[in-house]
Structure 1
Amino acid sequence: TLEGITGLSLTSLRDNWGSEYQRTNNAGVPDPNGSIYWGFNALVGLFFPAVTGIMAGSNRSASLKDTQRSIPIGTLSATLTTTAMYLLSVLLFGALSTREELLTDRLLTATVAWPTPVVIYIGIILSTLGAALQCLTGAPRLLAAIANDDILPVLNYFKVSEGVEPHAATLFTALICIGCVIIGNLDLITPTITMFFLLCYAGVNLSCFLLDLLDAPSWRPRWKYHHWSLSLVGALLCVVIMFLISWSFTVISLALASLIYYYVSLKGKAGDWGDGFKSAYFQLALRSLRSLGANQVHPKNWYPIPLILCRPWGKLPENVPCHPKLADFANCMKKKGRGMSIFVSTIDGDYHELAEDAKTACHQLEAYIEYKQCEGVAEIIVAPSMSEGFRSIVQTMGLGNLKPNIVVVRYPEIWRRENLTEIPSTFVSIINDCIIANKAVVIVKGLDEWPNEFQRQYGTIDLYWIVRDGGLMLLLSQLLLTKATFESCKIQVFCIAEEDTDAAELKTDVKKFLYDLRMHAEVIVVTMKSWESHVENSSSSAQPDDSQEAYTSARRRISAYLSEMKETTEREGRPQMVDGKQAVVNEEKVDKFLYTMFKLNSTILRHSRMAAVVLVSLPPPPLNHPAYFYMEYMDMLVENVPRMLIVRGYRRDVVTFFT
């Protein structure tokens, strides 16, 4: 049917290409160039059915004994033979007919046929019936094959088992053919069919072009004369001819093909034949990665790539791969949700024994990321302990400048309640590894109360800027404002200064700094009593506040821990040990560090009790202080603050200065 339709519709090709059947000049004299257009149409209009017939044969290649050998030889032989016959037909028709007959006689073949025109009529009928039967056997099988591949789920009704006749697909194909016949105008059907044939050929050529150009290892054509340029020319020719026939039909066909491709990518199942576009994406990613190099990225081009620890403290149900709010927070660190996050988790144990468990856990984590609609990838590491696993992750994760630059972990609020004595050493180990690896750190306290996209926050985002961090804390606050959750908030920057500091000068300097960064924020200078002043006035009564009780309890626990350490040292007759290493604990420095955290916490509660979120600098673990002490310091810092981000930058700027 398709061959008959395309072969008998020269007028459609002629009219749609914008050439009149007989060109005339202004005086009504026939244009001598009109025969050129007719000849061009006849190469295309007579020749096009032959190509469709060749492709129809390729669609039934499953019946061949040796497909790889038969298709190239058969296709090329058929193309050459057909080309020679049609060129000979053009020469013969030109030799035995006048120009007027060529332009006006639509069935010239019948006119010059021997012995009678009936021969041609019978031939046309038989050819049409043969083509129709051929399509009614090939098209249903092609439709059933597409359905079996699950490319288009809507075609599942046409699935058949191997060796079974596709009755449903045959009936559906017959209905389409009957519908086309009922239309009664082949010239309406021809452009549509022609477009999809040309689109099919363009797709085949484009696939060959991509696979050859991208040097895919799986692309190994047996035809040694193949070159990607030929495929590209073939694809371009198909598109050009489509526009020459009808630009409106071309646009509609391309739009429909794009919708089908989108539907397949959205609903279709991944087949085992590969995807040329994914190969192109892979090559593009590799080239982009090489172009990035390993040099330090300019602050203008800096993007946060968070490395998110999903189960660092292990107190989640086994079927929960990650804290439900971690992905929400990860999206808050990316402008408009764009950017890559790496979700990692560790499984304690032996890799040989737990490799399959790791794969299962990775699939669960990927499902969590997809459900949360967060752009990211999942990785599961098997290691003897959480500390060793993270140390491997922070050293090896990522490629070049696409390595993660921020480690995100929730604060272990449960460690004292659950009596998890191993958490302090793990917590300190993670922070120290990040410092050595030059990774920024963001510790989220109050993750359970972190708002989702529907919980709009009001008030302020308060920054307690204590040490220079390359602008990371400022940048995070600006990223929070880009989210609908925090867009109604305002930023306040608190500068902590000692009592003898010139507050007005400090405030002016910080305002100028923020102006150069093009960031809008209110600057507040807060003075805090130094440790020396506290020691001198220790006899005076301290002002009661919400942090005082927590501070007193922490001092009592630290004193008890120190006493136990001393007793153990004296009893065993060995040097004092701190987390397995020989060290001497300076009790005055311990008191100073705890007092600093206490005063900072009091300041935060006094000024930021109603803040939507508080950001504060993360103090590095002091040397020769037990990990238990550091957890006491951190607990003192976050005491009674419902939602806090504890941030440590790294040795580089992440914001651009404009002066």
Structure 2
Amino acid sequence: MIQSYPAVKQDSKGYNFGTFKGVMMPSLLTILGVVMYMRFGWVLGQVGLVSTIEIVLLSTSITFLTGLSLSALATNMNVGGGGAYYIISRSLGLETGAAIGIPLYFAQATGVSFYIVGFTETLLPMVKQNAWVMAQMQAYGIPEAWLPAILGLTTLVLLTLLAYISADLALKSQFLIFTLILASLLWIFTGKPPECPPEYAAVANDAIPQGSFWVVFAVFFPAVTGIEAGIAMSGDLKNPAKSLPLGTLGAILISLMIYLAIPIFLNYHIDNRNWLIHDKLILTQFTNVLDLPHWLNIVLLAIWGASISSAMGSLLGAPRTLQALAHDRVIPNWIGKGFGKNNEPRIATGFTFLVAATGILLGNLNAIAPVLSMFFLTSYCTLNLSAAFEGIVASPSWRPRFRVPWYISLAGALGCIFVMIQINFIATIVAVIICSSVYVLMQRRSIESRWGDVRAGLLMLGIRNAIYALQKRPYDEKTWKPNIMVLTDSPKARWYLVHLADALSHEKGFLTIAAIDTTPGISPEELLKKEKHIREELDEHDVSALVKVHHGTHVVPAIRELVRLYGFGPIVPNTILLGDTTEKHNFTEYARLIILLCQLKKNIIMVREGVTQPIFNRKPEILIWWRGWTQFAAFKLAIAYLLTQSEDWQGARIVLKSIVSTDEEASQQLDVMKNFIDHTRLEAEAEVVKAQAGTTVQQTIIRESQGANIVFLGIRPPLPDEDPEDYAQYYENLIKSTEGLPPTLFTLNSEDVEFRRIFQ
């Protein structure tokens, strides 16, 4: 149920307009504009009364739903200048605001030309009948085809000068125009319908093909987009939270009643479709009791006034959108510079003049209208999504005084998308590409906004739902990926660990950089400062990872506590990546750490930098020493395969090598390994090495590993109840016996996962 509550007065800068003058009147004057007077007959003639009413109801329902969403958003924040852009950017973030705000500005600026072209269409026949004007044009050699552009540009210059002088003066002039429009509607509805001219009566209705519903809809839709004029004045309102909902919804409902009455009235009095389609000024031909000359026709004067006021409304609103974009540093700040005590955006008005002048030179009302429709629908869709997302997330900060259920706003957004696709699918894709391009550009510029937005809440909601769903699903080895935790004192000191972990996760798995701080008496603030410093280092290298600095008196107990407690629900590290140690006095502690990680069912990747340089003049080689198809071998293969999927290791050769004693064994082992590679669909090579007399297995491994970029070797898991001292002795032997190898990954999998199933 939609509820409304009294608004709290807010401070604002600018003119401090009230609801009627600042929102309702600009909105109504833009809605009841050129399309109503000059295209309603065309719409009725193209698709008939029933479809015309459907077009009115559909377009108005989208605007009404958007008005509801706007009302909720406006009563939940202190709305500044910029209208729809300001609201969207403060809700969905600066990038989304800019992605919509920049196209919206061009739509508003092009709207100026749209209304001026409509004005010149009505003025043109009268000017052409003026002999003096036509004689002067002929004397100066000005082609008659230039006349619409000359009239349009002259009108634009005069309106721009008025906007430069004062927005207040411009809005005050609109009171007279508003009165004139009301008088014209009274004139039409109480007037006598004209007789159908013979040139139109000669064509029967059945001979005229039915127009396309969506093409006609696209031409008509700008008639209901007048609420943008009121929204754009948000920074000049005395109380935006009160004025925006009341003024916007009031204007929509009043215009709906008028828009339903006009086609019914026309259909009742005029039944000739050919006349309705081709006579743009058919509403001016209704006569009344007053016998006035043609140039004093109240309907014609109202058309002029409505066209001029609609153009003025867009000419006032578009620069304020541009000014807000400049204030947020989306565009150069100097464009948004304000002048005078009321912060007039004169430079932005100059830019708007240039855009509008370009639109006037196009000179085709029906060509401009669909472009406006697409960009206005895009902004309406985003406004609705903003309110829907705020309602879905339902954070404590979402407390609008005008409450609208989130599904109503979502319906408005879906309605906009549906209508855009129906109007022109290609144009919809183009609009999406333009908005997406601006969004990506803004992301690359990394402008830090000065406000929070709903995106964090949306992400949190998505994470919550995903974790709950993940927790309920049975585990399957075929979806296994390493959730890596890198243990390091300082990422800078052992950056190769971070680089390797990033290559393994390659922005698809989870990666945590964890550090243990044993500094006595370190404060939580200092730990957070250290985390921030590590995060900055990662950002510099474009590494996506979580950061955790954990404090403990001793390293191994602190790691035990960290590994046990770190994570959320089913999202916990399953693989620990760490560097080796070659200092003998650390061997026992290191052995104790490996035993601990095995007890906690964590996979281990121990990295040792090589003392020899690998060969880089050929394709990178990943060498795996093979001792049969075991769980340990499957884990090594899984890690090696993930490594080849990263950008740095793309195209690397995976080579499986095995040591045999005889030529017969070599042939058999090679066949087994090739069959295995073919069965598992791995892009790998198999090689067999025959052990030489008088050399150990370790010596053979070192000799045959030269030239590889990275070598995979397994390490023995600790025995049950094995003492750390005993395992330290094994570790010492391992380090000594593998000296001279290229960079090596020693792997040990302890997780309760059937890794061989990954390759089935």
Length-normalised TM-score, structure 1 = 0.72
For 1:238, what is the secondary structure of its paired residue? Answer: helix
Give the superposition deviation at 1:388. 3.5
The 2-side partners of 1:505 and 1:445 are apart by 33
Give the superposition deviation at 1:164. 3.5
Question: Cα 1:460–1:438, aligned 2, differ >3 Å: closer, same or farther?
Answer: closer
1:241 alignment partner in structure 2: 419
1:424 alignment partner in structure 2: 587
2:494 alignment partner in structure 1: 323
Structure 1 residues 392-439: Cα deviation after superposition (integer angstroms, max 9, x where no partner): 3211222333322111112224x36xxxx4x33442333122111101
Question: Cα 1:6–1:605, aligned 2, differ >3 Å: closer, same or farther?
Answer: same
One-letter amino acid of the counterpart of residue 107, structure 1 = L
Aligned ranges 1:26-175 → 2 under 5 Å: 29-31=204-206, 48-49=222-223, 51-99=224-272, 101-114=275-288, 115=290, 116=292, 117=294, 118=296, 119-150=298-329, 152=330, 154-160=331-337, 164-175=343-354
Aligned equivalent of 2:517, options 347, 357, 362: 347
Question: Cα 1:254–1:462, aligned 2, differ >3 Å: closer, same or farther?
Answer: closer
2:698 alignment partner in structure 1: 601
One-letter amino acid of the counterpart of residue 492, structure 1 = L
One-letter amino acid of the counterpart of residue 347, structure 1 = D
For CA contacts below 8 A with separation 6 or more, give which structure has more relative contact order. Answer: 2
Higher helix share: 2
For 1:443, what is the secondary structure of its paired residue? Answer: strand
Structure 1 residues 578-631: Cα deviation after superposition (integer angstroms, max 9, x where no partner): xxxxxxxxxxxxxxxxxxxxx653342244344433222223457335386455
Structure 1 residues 610-655: Cα deviation after superposition (integer angstroms, max 9, x where no partner): 4433222223457335386455334313322232111101142223
One-letter amino acid of the counterpart of residue 511, structure 2 = S
1:251 alignment partner in structure 2: 429
1:410 pairs with 2:572? no
Give the superposition deviation at 1:441. 0.4
1:10 pairs with 2:39? yes
One-letter amino acid of the counterpart of residue 390, structure 2 = L
Question: Cα 1:449–1:227, aligned 2, differ >3 Å: closer, same or farther?
Answer: farther
Question: Cα 1:15–1:392, aligned 2, differ >3 Å: closer, same or farther?
Answer: farther
Give the superposition deviation at 1:211. 3.2
Aligned ranges 1:376-387 → 2 under 5 Å: 376-387=545-556
Q: Is contact 1:439-1:649 (8 Å) kept?
A: yes
The 1-side partners of 2:748 and 2:213 are apart by 76
Single out whichever of 430-439 and 97-106 deviates more from structure 2: 97-106
1:585 alignment partner in structure 2: none
Question: Cα 1:246–1:528, aligned 2, differ >3 Å: closer, same or farther?
Answer: closer
Aligned equivalent of 2:738, options 629, 638, 641: 638
Aligned equivalent of 2:409, options 227, 231, 247: 231
What residue ranges of structure 1 are gaps of 5+ in the alignment?
22-26, 315-319, 530-542, 546-598
Give the superposition deviation at 1:199. 1.6
2:560 alignment partner in structure 1: 391
Give the superposition deviation at 1:135. 2.6
Identity %: 21
For 2:756, what is the secondary structure of its paired residue? Answer: coil
Q: Is contact 2:578-2:605 (8 Å) kept?
A: yes
Question: Cα 1:442–1:340, aligned 2, differ >3 Å: closer, same or farther?
Answer: same
The 2-side partners of 1:8 and 1:250 are apart by 28
Length, aligned pairs only:
565
Aligned equivalent of 1:199, options 345, 363, 378: 378
Structure 1 residues 553-578: Cα deviation after superposition (integer angstroms, max 9, x where no partner): xxxxxxxxxxxxxxxxxxxxxxxxxx
Question: Cα 1:142–1:307, aligned 2, differ >3 Å: closer, same or farther?
Answer: same
The 2-side partners of 1:215 and 1:142 are apart by 28
Aligned equivalent of 2:477, options 286, 293, 299: 299
Q: Is contact 2:42-2:280 (8 Å) kept?
A: no
1:552 alignment partner in structure 2: none
The 2-side partners of 1:607 and 1:473 are apart by 18
The 2-side partners of 1:489 and 1:159 are apart by 57
Q: Is contact 2:604-2:749 (8 Å) kept?
A: yes
Q: Is contact 1:470-1:649 (8 Å) kept?
A: no
Question: Cα 1:306–1:658, aligned 2, differ >3 Å: closer, same or farther?
Answer: closer
1:586 alignment partner in structure 2: none
The 1-side partners of 2:618 and 2:41 are apart by 61
Aligned equivalent of 1:476, options 629, 633, 639: 639
Give the superposition deviation at 1:31. 2.8
Question: Cα 1:450–1:603, aligned 2, differ >3 Å: closer, same or farther?
Answer: closer
Structure 1 residues 495-529: Cα deviation after superposition (integer angstroms, max 9, x where no partner): 699x9xx9998888777766654455536588899
Structure 1 residues 224-266: Cα deviation after superposition (integer angstroms, max 9, x where no partner): 4x23333233223333433454444333323222222232333
The 1-side partners of 2:597 and 2:431 are apart by 54
For 1:441, what is the secondary structure of its paired residue? Answer: strand
For 2:225, what is the secondary structure of its paired residue? Answer: helix
The 2-side partners of 1:643 and 1:17 are apart by 76
The 2-side partners of 1:463 and 1:362 are apart by 38
Q: Is contact 1:326-1:447 (8 Å) kept?
A: no
One-letter amino acid of the counterpart of residue 62, structure 1 = G
Question: Cα 1:528–1:75, aligned 2, differ >3 Å: closer, same or farther?
Answer: same
Q: Is contact 2:711-2:744 (8 Å) kept?
A: yes
Question: Cα 1:632–1:44, aligned 2, differ >3 Å: closer, same or farther?
Answer: closer
2:438 alignment partner in structure 1: 260
1:560 alignment partner in structure 2: none
Question: Cα 1:254–1:474, aligned 2, differ >3 Å: closer, same or farther?
Answer: closer
Question: Cα 1:472–1:141, aligned 2, differ >3 Å: closer, same or farther?
Answer: same
Structure 1 residues 77-110: Cα deviation after superposition (integer angstroms, max 9, x where no partner): 2221222233233344444445455444321222
For 2:755, what is the secondary structure of its paired residue? Answer: coil
1:494 alignment partner in structure 2: 658
1:559 alignment partner in structure 2: none
2:65 alignment partner in structure 1: none
Length-normalised TM-score, structure 2 = 0.64
One-letter amino acid of the counterpart of residue 64, structure 1 = L
For 2:655, what is the secondary structure of its paired residue? Answer: strand
1:548 alignment partner in structure 2: none
Question: Cα 1:108–1:40, aligned 2, differ >3 Å: closer, same or farther?
Answer: farther
Q: Is contact 2:691-2:700 (8 Å) kept?
A: no
The 1-side partners of 2:363 and 2:669 are apart by 87
Question: Cα 1:385–1:278, aligned 2, differ >3 Å: closer, same or farther?
Answer: same
Question: Cα 1:47–1:183, aligned 2, differ >3 Å: closer, same or farther?
Answer: closer
The 2-side partners of 1:94 and 1:633 are apart by 98
Give the superposition deviation at 1:350. 5.5
| Superposition RMSD in Å | 4.4
Give the superposition deviation at 1:280. 4.2
Question: Cα 1:509–1:135, aligned 2, differ >3 Å: closer, same or farther?
Answer: closer
Give the superposition deviation at 1:477. 3.0
The 1-side partners of 2:631 and 2:392 are apart by 49
Question: Cα 1:232–1:16, aligned 2, differ >3 Å: closer, same or farther?
Answer: farther
